[in-house]
Amino acid sequence: MIFWKRTVPLALAFFFGVLMIVQYFIPHEWFENLLDTMARWGQIVGAFGLVVGIASLTHSHYFKIKRRVPGWGYSIVTLASLVIYVVIGFLTECDDSPNAPFGWGYLYILMPMQASMFSLLAFFVASAAYKAFRARTIEATVLLIVAIVVMLARVPIGSYIYENIPRIGEWIFAYPNMAARRAIMLGVALATVATSLRVIVGIERSYLGGGD
Amino acid sequence: MKIDRRYIFVFIAIAIILPTIFEVRMKIDISEPVKKIFDRIESLKPGTVVVISNDYDPAAKAELYPMTLAIMRHCFRKNLRVLALNLWPQGAGLVRMALDISGKEYKKENGVDYVFLGYKPGGGVVIIGMGQNLLGTFPKDADGKPLAEMPLIKETGLKSLKDVPLVIDIAAGTPGIDSWVIYGRDQYGFDLAAGCTGVMATDYYPYLNSGQLVGLMGGLKGAAEYETLIERADEATRNMSPQSFSHLVIIAFVILGNIALIVEKSKKKRRS
């Protein structure tokens, strides 16, 4: 069992990991075709990811309903919506014109609901900004001033208050912000390389599951 | 000083509703990253294919849909051909809507002037697939018509992303701009321009500085700037004034909170 559960996956990870690194540096037709094939395999795996996601959602909400956990009524709505929309999609061949049921549901149910949820952020951001943005220390004061400048720079009224506000905002984005972001990105990139190498050589095995 | 947050909500609501009703118009300054996208599109010859990847869902519609529409309008006005797709499943309806609107305005024909590829799962893998073999990755468009038979493909001889000079990614998360930079632009050499939500814009300035992005539209302001550039004021331009006033309200409350903090501190000092 260990051979199938551990040795084979580790060997596959090593083989394909090394292969994909090598192909990146050799622009030969054979490697181009290999990458093409790998990309198609990746898409198939991605499609199965959707199936796994739907199965996981169904499983999770089914047990919430079965155990009558608080809010189980919402789980019924979730599962009913999932089933109804999938059935409508199959029956109408996912016709998303506004007059077809599939398109109508998207346009008049999903779109306003998602947009409304996101719009609520405006209210909570305002409330959170009032509570959190306090100039208690020098660092907090700098953060506060920069936040106000950027907020004004991101709207046209900023240039009515002071004409150079958009330019100052752009400078903050292009220099201090960029320097900090680049440092973070370099750190993340190096960590990604290190983790990838650990997976390829078999040191990092958490993807095998079971805490092995 | 504690203020019931419902008062803050009421002020924010007023700051959004009143300018929306009275349609307060404001002058919009153009930033350099947005102008660069406009200039890059202007530099393309008529008939060139531009790929527009729309990687968002209706939650980000307010900020990103105006960008999609403005970019498509600009492309069609310049007689460029558009290949649109989604890497997010729930954005397909929005892209179709934008293509229908802009296509009708400029009398463009589906299959000839534009093609909608629809959604395909896989994120970065889809980008690599398009870079290697477009027709292998998308044998059919979103309506199920074979891509190889479409005039847009036949006349341009488009085979992969290597034949495309410009990709514009409008994204609200992952897969999105990072995926297009890593798996697309850096491997296949096309120019990449991007649009993203306001909160994400700061993340992409390193790409802008390194030249991996030719331009960047950040949030509703970016969309409004683009509408200004193509001289076609629409949703983003209209929504700039509610956003302006809501920002002012937030700033006013922040200042109020800090004044209260200073007063409290000075009272404590006097007592001690």
**CB burial of residue B175 (10 Å; 0-12, 13-18, 19+):** buried
In a domain, B160, yes or no: yes
In a domain, A12, yes or no: no
Q: Which residues of A touch B123 (CB under 8 A)?
A: 46
Residues A109-166 pLDDT 10s: 999 999 899 889 889 989 999 888 888 899 999 999 999 999 999 999 999 999 999 9
Q: Count of domains in chain A? A: 1
A155·B243 Cβ contact <8 A:
yes
Alpha helices of chain B — where are they, by DSSP H?
A: 5-22, 32-42, 61-77, 92-105, 124-132, 134-137, 151-156, 177-179, 186-188, 205-210, 219-229, 235-238, 240-271
Q: Count of domains in chain B? A: 1
In a domain, A26, yes or no: no
Give chain B's residues under pLDDT 50. none
In a domain, B124, yes or no: yes
Q: Which of A110, A126, A166 sits opposite B31 (nearest CB)?
A: A166
Residues A189-202 pLDDT 10s: 999 999 999 999 99
The yes-or-no verdict on residue A4 having pLDDT over 90 is no
Task: Please state, as a whole number, how many other Cβ atoms lie within 10 Å of the Cβ of residue B254.
Answer: 22
Rounded Cα gap, residues A196 and A167, in angstroms: 41
Distance from CA of B101 to the nearest CA of A (A): 13
Task: Please state, as a whole number, how many other Cβ atoms lie within 10 Å of the Cβ of residue A129.
Answer: 19
In a domain, B106, yes or no: yes
In a domain, B229, yes or no: yes
Q: Which amino acid is at B92?
A: A
Show the 3-state SS of A171-184.
HHHHHHHHHHHHHH
pLDDT confidence bin for A210, thresholds 50/70/90: low
Pick from B73, B23, B84, B27: nearest CA to B50:
B84
Q: Looking at residue B208, which CATH number applies to its domain?
A: 3.40.50.10160
Distance of CA B193 to the CA centre of its chain: 10
Query: How many CA atoms, within 13 angstroms, populate the side-chain half-sphere of residue B52?
Result: 34
A156·B123 Cβ contact <8 A:
no
Q: Which residues of B touch A112 (CB under 8 A)?
A: 58
pLDDT of residue A94: 83
Strands laid side by side in the B191-196 sheet:
B114-119, B81-86, B49-55, B166-171, B191-196, B215-218
Contact of B71 with B52, CB cutoff 8 Å: yes
pLDDT of residue A212: 45
Rounded Cα gap, residues A116 and A104, in angstroms: 17
pLDDT of residue A121: 87
In a domain, A123, yes or no: no
Q: What residues make up the domain containing B96?
A: 30-238
A115·B248 Cβ contact <8 A:
no
Q: Which residues of A touch B3 (CB under 8 A)?
A: 130
Residue of A nearest to B239 (CA): A155
Instruction: Check if A108 contacts B (Cβ < 8 Å).
Output: no
Pick from B161, B110, B97: nearest CA to B135:
B161
Q: Buried b / exposed e across A79-97, counting CB within 10 Å, b at 16+?
A: beeeeebeebeeeeebebe
Q: What residues make up the domain containing A177?
A: 134-212
Q: Residue with structure tokens 């047990």?
A: A63
Q: Which residues of A touch B12 (CB under 8 A)?
A: 122-123, 126
In a domain, B111, yes or no: yes
Pick from A118, A182, A180: nearest CA to A143:
A180
Residues A41-86 pLDDT 10s: 888 888 888 889 999 999 999 999 999 999 999 999 999 999 999 9
Rounded Cα gap, residues B219 and B28, in angstroms: 14
CA angle B77–B110–B40, rounded 5-degree value:
35
Contact of A25 with A13, CB cutoff 8 Å: no
